[in-house]
Amino acid sequence: MKVKALTRASSDYVGRSGDVYRLPRNASPAVHPFHREREYTRALQATKLDKIMAKPFLCAFDQHSDAVQCLATHPRRLRSLYSASADGELKSWDLSNRELLWSVGAHDGFVRVWDLDQCDARPNAITPVKTLLGSMPFTGVDTHWRDDSAVVTCGSQVDVWSLDRSDPVHSFKWGADTITTVKFNKVEVDILASCASDRSVTLYDTRLKSPIRKLILTMCSNALAWNPMEPFNFTVANEDTNLYTFDMRKMDIARNVHSDHVAAVMAVDYAPTGREIVSGGYDRAVRIWADGEGRSREVYVARRMQRILSVKFSADNRFVLSGSDDTNIRLWKAQASKSLQAMLPREKRHLQYQDRLKARFAHVKDVQRIARHRHLPSAIFKEQKKIRVVEASQKRKESNRRSHSKPGAVPFVPRRVKNIVKVEE
């Protein structure tokens, strides 16, 4: 005789210990009369917790014996970092294990080209692939991640090299002053820009025989970085404590002026997303900016950190690296209060909800005050106070002159145009 029985797995209807039960919720506003007040309290608490949990500093690499002048990341390996110091030493680091992989005395007056795969495979027998000999000393060098054979150097002029030739493929010169830095466009291989000691920022196209355009500012620019997602935008770090973002198609006005540093800005870099900028300068502070904001959203300082000479975003946009005058490379979190551990989906949803609340109540005075508060060294704090007094005095003076002059005699000059002297074609 055949008997058919209905069976069910007990796991389908018996709960497990530790399960989170779904509670019924009525979304009607009539049932929740004080939901805005509760959300404001949650936003305030989330902002306070961000300040409490903010621990951005992770570690320091201190094997260099001189100031760290340059930092570079591998375009296809997240964990690799390369640094160069003022004594000509080149080092490779493993960021995951926080250890030094290899070190070599790379430079002594020449520009040498190195094969990173060969260096990683044979760290005890590292030899350069090619040596570039120029007619004048080099002050800057860059290469493009899409074209390994293209190298650009600067000094008295801008030279574009090919690894297959011993002489420059292209040479550009506009003026007699020294060119301090040169950078390839992250997207277009043929476009590059340079900063010179005559306060100029010059654009070049390797398909043409002469430079495209020259922008002259009131003070010198020390560093330059291209936006990796918007190839026509770039940012320069200036001696007047500001960063200026320009559109290469319309350089007679800045897209944005980023001003929070209190000393000359020496280094700048874009996040891989193109939405954030990191900078460092002589005020011994690392600042992170939103691309469209004029004020920094975060500032990192350390007690023994000296002048910042190089900064870099990691390729996954989670970390920031800074190289300073005290021979150290420091690793910071890009989001100061964000945990590096793996999170459960429920925890991720909770943090996303908190972020939406903070954005919703960001204009409220108490939330804004707590979010903007930073513990800064007294030197930076006092210098910021001086700058605010000077700016208020200048605005008051301009207002008085305008009110006691003939209409139109004292025109209003926007801040994005004030420090631009001229644009030459």
pLDDT in tens, 283-323: 999 999 999 899 999 999 998 899 999 999 999 999 999 99
The sheet carrying 158-162 orders its strands as 140-143, 150-154, 158-162, 170-172
Q: Which residues contact 268 (CB under 8 A, 6 or more apart)?
A: 223, 224, 225, 235, 236, 237, 243, 277, 278, 279, 311
**Number of domains making up the chain:** 1
Mean pLDDT, rounded, of the chain: 88
pLDDT in tens, 267-279: 999 999 999 999 9
- Computed on alpha carbons and rounded to an integer, the radius of gyration of the chain in Å comes to 27
Q: What is the CATH number of the domain that holds 301?
A: 2.130.10.10
Instruction: Identify the CA nearest to 278 among candidates 337, 334, 226, 230.
Output: 334
13 pLDDT band, cuts 50/70/90, is: low
What pLDDT sits at residue 370?
Answer: 94
pLDDT in tens, 126-178: 667 677 777 777 888 888 878 777 888 888 889 888 877 878 888 888 877 88
Q: Which of 120-129, 199-208, 241-250, 353-362 has the lowest mean pLDDT?
A: 120-129
Q: Answer yes or no: is pLDDT of 411 > 60.
A: yes
The stretch 54-80 carries a mean pLDDT of 89
Instruction: Evaluate whether residue 244 is within a structural domain.
Output: yes
Percentage of residues in the chain having pLDDT higher than 70:
92
Instruction: Evaluate whether residue 21 is within a structural domain.
Output: no
Highest mean pLDDT among 27-41, 171-185, 221-235: 221-235
What pLDDT sits at residue 308?
Answer: 94
SS3 168: coil
What pLDDT sits at residue 29?
Answer: 84
pTM higher than 0.85, yes or no?
Answer: yes
56 in Cβ contact with 285 (< 8 Å) = no
Instruction: Evaluate whether residue 16 is within a structural domain.
Output: no
Tell me the residue range of the domain where 181 lies. 135-335
Q: Answer yes or no: is pLDDT of 222 > 80.
A: yes
Structural tokens at position 238: 């200036």
Instruction: Evaluate whether residue 218 is within a structural domain.
Output: yes
Structural tokens at position 97: 């294990």
CA 342 to chain centre: 25
Q: How many residues does the chain have?
A: 425
Q: Answer yes or no: is pLDDT of 198 > 70.
A: yes
What pLDDT sits at residue 143?
Answer: 86
The stretch 50-72 carries a mean pLDDT of 90
SS3 225: strand
The stretch 356-375 carries a mean pLDDT of 93
Q: Which residue has the higher pLDDT, 9 or 57?
A: 57
192 pLDDT band, cuts 50/70/90, is: very high
Instruction: Evaluate whether residue 130 is within a structural domain.
Output: no
Percentage of residues in the chain having pLDDT higher than 90:
54
Q: How far is residue 41's CA from residue 273's CA, in Å, rounded to a whole number?
A: 32
Backbone angles phi, psi at 194, to 5 degrees: -140, 155
Q: How far is residue 263's CA from residue 386's CA, in Å, rounded to a whole number?
A: 12
Instruction: Evaluate whether residue 307 is within a structural domain.
Output: yes
Instruction: Evaluate whether residue 93 is within a structural domain.
Output: no
Q: How far is residue 135's CA from residue 141's CA, in Å, rounded to a whole number?
A: 15
What pLDDT sits at residue 126?
Answer: 66
